Amino acid sequence: MSKETELYKLWCEKAVEDPDLVAELKSVEGDDEAILDRFYRDLEFGTGGLRGVIGAGSYRLNIYTIRRATQGLADYVNQTFKNASVAISYDSRIKSDVFAKATAAVMAANGIKAYIYKELMPTPCLSWAVRELGCQAGVMVTASHNPAKYNGYKVYGEDGCQLTIDAANVVTEKIESVDMFGGAKFIDFEEGLKSGMIEYIGQDVIDKYLDKVAEQGIHTDLVADSGLKVVYTPLNGTGNKPVRAILKKIGIKEVTVVPEQENPDGNFPTCPFPNPEIKEALAKGLELCESVKPDLLLATDPDCDRVGIAVPAPDGSYVLFSGNEVGAMLLKYICQERTALGTMPKNPVAVKTIVTTDICRKIAEEYGVELRNVLTGFKFIGEQIGFLEKDNEADRYIFGYEESYGYLAGSYVRDKDAVVASMLICEMAAFYRTKGITLLQARENLYNEYGNYLHSQESFQCEGASGMEKMKEIMAGLRTNGPKEIGGLKVTVFADYKVSEQTDIATGAKTVLTLPKSDVLVFELEQGASVIIRPSGTEPKIKAYYTAIGDTRAAAEKTEAALKADFKKILGF
């Protein structure tokens, strides 16, 4: 009998609490492939926590894998702190509320006070609660922008930032020592509320959060009279209440919400991929734009930490902006207007990830801003804010962003925040509107001033056990036998962040990279182009990031197309 079959039989015997799991286990009886996929490994606890398909098995997200992970986290918290507390939030996904309450029940059983929101709330609200309530850890139940079959469990430290690599490694060790059945201590959720070990987070905490968001405004006094008209979709997630509240707070009177995507629904019936990076997710919003004719379409993902936009073109159609473009425009706006108003801090700092556009380097140079480059993942941007805070210089931080539609102004939270991003995007649009400039024109002005930077990302799915092996093989092959040119452009520099080494191809000179080790490869090319590749830390896919720069938009697009076509062949897809 295989290991997977033995585990399957154990789960059939023990996993009887959730009728959905019982039914699923029964449905795969005798299906070796289905059993293998559910039991060939445990869900991996990475630096971001857990993420996986909801269902039965050790390689699925369910009440048992949640309790096991929480027990490991509780053991870490109790080992590290005294009289600890934890904040918990959750999004609209299937079983998110169940998993959040299970997390609270395990924490309470381990003597850790659990603060939990009464209803679904965005990821940044979790980061805020950790900081505002003085907690030692936080848990956000979400799978961000993944399809409906996924859910996840993101863990935060006492600074409100996602758990550091070192701390995550310790938590992983703790989790691995917990037996799946019987290893986790837990109490009844309602009993926890009665005893005071579980407590609902009050409206006052939410109101303070919205006040902090509003403080990041620059020209909010202009918004109310700008006549800005907005269509907004929360994509059936957590953004509906807080985003509408902050837009109302700054004076935007005309906000039309996409009705099919207004209320929470973990099945995401009108957007199978609730990701504002994908045009299909904005389809209902774009349909509504045809009749409402807004100045701006906003779309936040289910846990409201990312936001995408579309703006009207002269022909009446709506143009989608990339995360790189919106981030660069916001950085320009913040630098330009804070400088003009005299509110720019001394020695200002902005932060971006290594896969995010370098156009912001030129913007930063113009305004005397120190631009810090960090690894992919917003936790590394949050970490930089923490470094500044330790030196009592948190006010130096003005903005941070990543190409995947995540932005943060202000140091009140330590994760990307689509509530403040939505506010600033609307404020920026309103400000330019009072100057007779559309956002489309503002984007063109940016490229005319700094150059035509074109960026895109491509994901290659690697599902199941074989997919994980394929990702490893691809990365190993690129390390030992990488391409000499991509898309007709020669590789000039090769960087391997796993070994912290960068090589100049022409001279063979090697340089030590100072960022933490990570499974990321960078191919710098002629003409300022580049290709970066990394396996996702939370999803079964490998991601490639392309940069092309041209004298014109058309030239940059031609280079980008050549890079993508050639690199896809190199990867074997």
Per-residue pLDDT of the chain (573 residues), as tens digits, is 799 999 999 999 999 999 999 999 999 999 999 999 999 999 988 777 999 999 999 999 999 999 999 999 999 999 999 999 999 999 999 999 999 999 999 999 999 999 999 999 999 999 999 999 999 999 999 999 899 999 999 999 999 999 988 899 999 999 999 999 999 999 999 999 999 999 999 999 999 999 999 999 999 999 999 999 999 999 999 999 999 999 999 999 999 999 999 999 999 999 989 999 999 999 999 999 999 999 999 999 999 999 999 999 999 999 999 999 999 999 999 999 999 999 999 999 999 999 999 999 999 999 999 999 999 889 999 999 999 999 999 999 999 999 999 999 999 999 999 999 999 999 999 999 999 999 999 999 999 999 999 998 899 888 776 777 888 899 999 999 999 999 999 999 999 999 999 999 999 999 999 988 899 999 999 999 999 999 886 667 899 999 999 889 899 999 999 999 999 999 988
Radius of gyration of the chain, Cα coordinates, nearest whole angstrom: 24
Q: Is 291 a catalytic residue?
A: no
Nearest Cα neighbor of 105 from 113, 96, 93 is 113
Confidence at residue 465, expressed as pLDDT on a 0 to 100 scale: 67
Nearest Cα neighbor of 61 from 137, 166, 145, 154 is 154
* Contact assessment for residue 340 and residue 332, using Cβ atoms and an 8 Å cutoff: no
Count CB neighbours of 196 within 10 A.
Answer: 9
Confidence at residue 395, expressed as pLDDT on a 0 to 100 scale: 96
The tokens for 132 are: 């505002």
pTM confidence score: 0.93
* Catalytically annotated residue among 58, 92, 127, 144: 144
Confidence at residue 573, expressed as pLDDT on a 0 to 100 scale: 86
CA gap 152, 537 in Å, rounded: 12
The tokens for 56 are: 């039965």
CA gap 390, 446 in Å, rounded: 35
Distance of CA 418 to the CA centre of its chain: 10
Confidence at residue 41, expressed as pLDDT on a 0 to 100 scale: 92
Q: What is the DSSP letter of 407?
A: E
Grouping H, G, I as helix, E, B as strand and the rest as coil, residue 496 is strand
Nearest Cα neighbor of 550 from 561, 539, 542 is 561
Q: What is the DSSP letter of 54?
A: B
Confidence at residue 537, expressed as pLDDT on a 0 to 100 scale: 67
CA gap 171, 47 in Å, rounded: 10
The tokens for 74 are: 């509780």
Is the C-alpha dihedral spanning 54, 59, 65, 69 positive or negative?
A: negative
DSSP readout, 300-344? E-TTSS-EEEEEE-TTS-EEEPPHHHHHHHHHHHHHHHHHHHT-P
